Amino acid sequence: MDLDESDIIDTLSRIGLTEKEIQVYIEVVAAGATNATELASRTDVSQRYIYRLADNLDQLGLIEVDDHTSPKRIRARPPGDQLDDLVTDIESARDSLNDLYTSTEPAGEHLEILRSREATVSRVEQIIRDAETELIAALPVGVIRQLRDTLSETYYDCTFVALLISGDPAGVYDLDYAGFAQAVRFCEYQMPAFLVADRQQGVSTTPDLFGWERSEDRAVVFNNRNIGNVYASSFFGNYWTLGEEIALAWRARLPEQYDSFLRAVYDGTILYRSGEPHWITAEVVRRSDGQEETLSGCLSGVEQHLIEPHNSESGIENQLLLDSEDETYRLGSPTAYLTEYRTHQLRFERLEQTNLWEE
């Protein structure tokens, strides 16, 4: 990397672009016009994630996405004019940003109370539709049946879906779960009903609110990363292992890119148990100092609590073991506390598809 490109990256990061947004933007400017497939091959970012990054850059006025072509064409706009406008907007918004900084109620993160079954089911359905990378849910079987089509749409949009179902065993076991969840468990005990999408937004209530008789119970809707992580940890730490494993599905097509560490652990467990060697490339951040790294090596083990038999000592955190040429790394989730390496993006491929260490 020469000095000029380094200066460009530094400037773009200062005006708020992420590392991946900068990487994609520079490639688009260099190409003039391109598409998601070409960008994915040059940046090692999944096509699905390319579209999300392109939408962000389009909203900033830096590029233009043409929805009328197939595949969509992604074009650069004149950098000088757009960056000048962006800097002007940032300067003019300074006072407003200071007001937001001192505000006691962060925008977009809130709690809401729902008082009826209809409103709760409607919000649950909307959150399922909004899920992008992962969805975990503990719900009565009646709600699962009612929202099966919505779950299927989300599942086929590359979202990892884990369901813990309660209710009448007859109603649970006669369902075909293929096509709307990867991992499904059944618990005969009554438990709280809740779901969390992307560790960010969700609903929590009691199973009685989903009954057809009038209930005085209420549902709490949240949109907060910290609350979402707490519910996700509680789901796997307190409830998931109470259930009986009744369905598992495999849908990955290697090589596969992962934005969800949970889904990577699920697929990694199946790959490791197959006995065939597989290669990992992981974008990680060191927990101790925040340094970003790219790690590559063989998948040498998985410690997890998603699929029987479980072998995670903590019961909360999952880990993938990566053997490089001279060291074994333990990879954790983006919020891991028990591992040094927090994984933000990961790729699996068969061993014969990559170049191994050269002797």
CA separation for the pair 203, 43 (Å, rounded): 36
Question: CB within 8 A of 340, min separation 6: which ones?
Answer: 286, 287, 288, 330
What pLDDT is recorded for position 195? 96
pLDDT by residue, tens only, the chain of 359 residues = 344 677 788 778 777 788 888 889 889 988 888 998 899 888 878 888 888 888 888 888 888 998 888 788 999 888 766 666 666 666 666 656 555 444 444 434 578 999 888 899 999 999 999 999 999 999 999 999 999 999 999 988 878 999 999 988 888 888 888 888 999 999 988 889 999 999 999 999 998 888 766 677 889 999 999 999 999 989 998 899 889 999 999 888 899 999 999 999 999 999 999 999 999 999 999 999 999 999 999 999 999 999 999 998 776 789 999 999 889 999 999 989 889 999 999 999 998 744 554 44
CA separation for the pair 193, 206 (Å, rounded): 5
Of the CATH numbers 3.30.70.100, 1.10.510.10, 3.40.50.300, 1.10.10.10, which one belongs to the domain with range 3-101?
Answer: 1.10.10.10
* Long-range CB contact pairs, 27-35, < 8 A, 24+: 28/57, 28/63, 28/74, 28/75, 28/76, 29/76, 29/79, 31/76, 32/75, 32/76, 33/73, 33/74, 33/75, 33/76, 34/73, 34/74, 35/71, 35/72, 35/73, 35/74
SS3 assignment for the chain: CCHHHHHHHHHHHHCCCCHHHHHHHHHHHHHCEEEHHHHHHHHCCCHHHHHHHHHHHHHCCCEEEECCCCCCEEEECCHHHHHHHHHHHHHHCHHHHHHHHCCCCCCCCCEEEECCHHHHHHHHHHHHHHCCCEEEEEEEHHHHHHCHHHHHHHHCCCCEEEEEEECCHHHHHCCCCCCCCCEEEEECCCCCEEEEECCCEEEEECHHHHCCCCCCCCEEEEECHHHHHHHHHHHHHHHHHHCEEEEECCCCCCCEEECCHHHHHHHHHHHHHCCCCEEEEEEEEECCCCCEEEEEEEEEEEECCCCCCCCCCCCCCCEEEEECCCCEEEEECCCCCCCCEEEEEEEEEEHHHCCCCCC
Residue with token string 């300067």:
91
- Per-residue pLDDT tens digits for 271-291: 999 999 999 999 999 999 999
Closest C-alpha to 334, from 346, 324, 325 = 346
What pLDDT is recorded for position 319? 96
The CA-based angle 232-307-150, given to 5 degrees, is 60
Q: CATH assignment of 256-353? A: 2.30.30.690
Domain extents in the chain: 3-101, 111-248, 256-353
What pLDDT is recorded for position 82? 64
- At the topology level, CATH places domain 111-248 in Endonuclease; Chain A (3.30.870)
317 touches 308 (CB < 8 A):
no
